[in-house]
Amino acid sequence: MAAINQFIADINGFVETKSKHFSITVRVMTLWKMPESTKNKAIKSLEMVLIDANGGKVQATIPVRFMKEFEHLFKEGVVCRISGFDHALNINGGYRCSKHEYKIVFLPDTLVDSVEYVNIPLHVFDFTPFAEISNFIASFDYCFDIIGHIQAYSKPVVENGTKRISVELEDQRADRLKITLWNEHADRVLTLMDANPEYPIVLIVQYVKCKKYYSKASVTTNIYNGRIYLNDDKIPEIYDYKTRMDDNENKAASIHRIPILSSISGYTTYEDFVKEAAMISINGINDLEQPGHAVTFGKITGLAKEFDWSYTGCNLCNKKVIEIKKDDGGITLAELDNAQKGKIKNTTGDAVSASLKKWMCGKHGPVSSVAPKFKLQVYVADRSGSRIFTLWDRMVYNFITKSAAELREKEPSVDYPVILEEVKRKRCLFRLDVSNFNIKNRTSEVSVAKITVDSDVIKKYLEVVAEDQEIDPEISAGYGLNLTPTQDSTSKTAVSCTGDTEVPTAGDDTADSPPTKKIPPTQAGEESVKSYPNKRVRKL
């Protein structure tokens, strides 16, 4: 009796697949060798994801003891008929690459026949919306696929012989997701970016692994069989994605050069956050005698609305740009030369050549790709005092999930968008860039290099500074600290602030140093604070 061709969907707990009369005709979509573990590199099995003419997918396993008999029969893209196989529950830890409840297991007498069958697609993707990942709606029990266009990417990091980059994607629902790419996948993205492509770059990542990390979704490629597809119009899903973008009436407003960000990772460690930094109260900034990094814990108590909340920045580096005009108000050729050296000034003079681009960046010279960027001054306070801190583009975006460009476009006539009020009353740990200007002028405005609300990082910080700073009992309880508050508030700097703590962690951002403005020492934003003496500085 000839084998009856079945489909992948017919494999279930009630059928006898070991029979030679049960067969499936499939294409090998992906194939990889699976080691025993990340530390034990001995090969455990040959793994495949198979697809049929109905678009069904199933994972298949060839145990290492049978690999010599079957390995030469398979490569990615081939079509074959398989019969006489076993099937088992599809439990592969974090490397389950099919939603099918079962997986195929090869036996010594499994039959494999090569066939000519063109009606099976080369790829079948199972895309998961970014919002379902970020909100933990998607199941993290198996690997899935994502598609989006690249919004930003980080510089490569090489550690222990591996290279990684972070890439921020946006899907067509305007949701964003950060993913870590490794080794050859990172190299492919970097090679494409080195060619200075224009936006958009559409990326498919196949077999994404996710796990919950500090109440956030950590997303990375599967190190064993992950695949990426970059701007390949031969793949229908990428072509359709681009077509939908072309049909979007707002496309023109969103076209930009893809920026390199110093860090777009949403996660940080305590050691990285406080590395080579003074650990101080807010008032302790006045005691610093040298420029450098400082870390402090406080609450955002208000917005410094006497400052503008945005600036026009270069999409390559985020630095401030000035407009090149043909009439009075432009910049002279001499100033153009200075601009190339980073000495930009916006003064009246002879117009530059009409062939130049519209904007001048102090780092990249004439550029055409610019956008509004956040530069938000906020009041931050603890019981020692208050200071104006400057939050940069990525930091503010992670608070409100709206870009400065979106706010300018949506409310062009509004001086101060109401949504910015959402940054208030947040407890945060700040890593500051204290400049020579701050030291010499004792200015109340300091640039923020990093910001986090990671509870583990904050708890560790508070434990370390508890020796020198009095921790408010409310804060101690909120972060699970077992500290006995001292009654002598003059012997320690008091740390106290209240408010919400739920706010995303932001990475580093760069931009030109903002102009500074002194404020009276008694001005503390929208919430009053008490001043206490502080002379203690801890540095790791």
Answer yes or no: do 78 and 96 share one domain.
yes
pLDDT of residue 495: 46
Q: Looking at the DSSP assignment, which residues form a beta bridge with residue 428?
A: 298
Answer yes or no: do 35 and 138 share one domain.
no
* Nearest CA-CA partner of 221 in 187, 188, 183: 183
CA distances from 5 to 50, 81, 94 (A): 15, 8, 31
pLDDT of residue 484: 53
Answer yes or no: do 13 and 64 share one domain.
yes
Buried b (16+ CB within 10 A) or exposed e, 96-120: bbbebebbbbbeeebebeeeeeeeb
pLDDT tens-digit readout, 278-327 = 999 999 998 998 999 999 999 999 999 999 999 999 877 788 999 886 55
Q: Report yes or no on 57 lying in a domain.
A: yes
Answer yes or no: do 405 and 510 share one domain.
yes
For the chain, the C-alpha Rg in angstroms (whole number) is: 28
Answer yes or no: do 498 and 364 share one domain.
no
Which is higher by pLDDT, 173 or 349? 173
Confidence of residue 410 (pLDDT cuts 50, 70, 90): confident
pLDDT of residue 475: 78
Q: Report yes or no on 99 lying in a domain.
A: yes
Q: What is the mean pLDDT of residues 450-461?
A: 86
Confidence of residue 434 (pLDDT cuts 50, 70, 90): very high
Q: Report yes or no on 249 lying in a domain.
A: yes
Answer yes or no: do 293 and 435 share one domain.
yes
Q: Report yes or no on 119 lying in a domain.
A: no
pLDDT of residue 140: 84
Q: Report yes or no on 257 lying in a domain.
A: yes
Confidence of residue 509 (pLDDT cuts 50, 70, 90): very low
Say if residue 255's pLDDT is above 50.
Answer: no
Q: Among 228, 261, 294, where does a domain finish? A: 261
Answer yes or no: do 341 and 383 share one domain.
no
Low-confidence winner among 249-263, 315-329, 388-402 (lowest mean pLDDT): 249-263
Task: Name the domain count of the chain.
Answer: 4
pLDDT of residue 248: 58
pLDDT above 70 coverage of the chain, percent:
76
**What is the average pLDDT score of the chain?**
78
pLDDT above 90 coverage of the chain, percent:
37
Answer yes or no: do 286 and 362 share one domain.
no
pLDDT of residue 490: 39
pLDDT of residue 514: 38
Confidence of residue 394 (pLDDT cuts 50, 70, 90): confident
Q: What is the mean pLDDT of residues 325-334?
A: 51
> What is the rounded distance in angstroms from the CA atom of residue 188 to the CA atom of residue 29?
21
pLDDT of residue 513: 36
Q: What is the mean pLDDT of residues 223-246?
A: 89
Say if residue 63's pLDDT is above 90.
Answer: yes
Low-confidence winner among 37-51, 182-196, 323-337 (lowest mean pLDDT): 323-337
Percent of the chain that is helix, strand, coil (3-state, to 5): 20, 35, 45
Say if residue 540's pLDDT is above 80.
Answer: no
> What is the rounded distance in angstroms from the CA atom of residue 330 to the CA atom of residue 324?
5
Q: What is the mean pLDDT of residues 448-455?
A: 87
CATH of the domain at 50: 2.40.50.140
Instruction: Give the DSSP H/E element, type plus range, for residue 324.
Output: none
Q: Which amino acid is at 67?
A: M
Query: Could you tell me whether strands 385-392 and 43-51 are parallel, antiparallel, or unpaired per DSSP bridges?
Result: unpaired
pLDDT of residue 472: 74
Q: Report yes or no on 433 lying in a domain.
A: yes
Domain, as residue range, for 159: 130-261
Q: Report yes or no on 124 lying in a domain.
A: no
Say if residue 502's pLDDT is above 90.
Answer: no
> What is the rounded distance in angstroms from the CA atom of residue 433 to the CA atom of residue 269?
18
Q: Among 338, 353, 368, where does a domain finish? A: 368
Q: What is the DSSP letter of 57?
A: E
Which is higher by pLDDT, 139 or 381? 381
pLDDT tens-digit readout, 16-59 = 898 888 999 999 999 999 998 777 889 999 999 999 999 999 99
Which is higher by pLDDT, 309 or 509? 309
Q: Report yes or no on 123 lying in a domain.
A: no
Confidence of residue 411 (pLDDT cuts 50, 70, 90): confident
Instruction: Judge contact between 484 and 539, C-beta under 8 A.
Output: no
Which is higher by pLDDT, 58 or 246? 58
Instruction: Judge contact between 216 and 242, C-beta under 8 A.
Output: no
Answer yes or no: do 383 and 361 share one domain.
no
pLDDT of residue 338: 55
Answer yes or no: do 389 and 477 share one domain.
yes
pLDDT tens-digit readout, 363-390 = 888 888 788 999 999 999 988 889 999 9
Answer yes or no: do 421 and 279 share one domain.
yes
Query: In residues, how long is the chain?
Result: 540
Q: What is the DSSP letter of 252?
A: H
Answer yes or no: do 414 and 518 share one domain.
yes
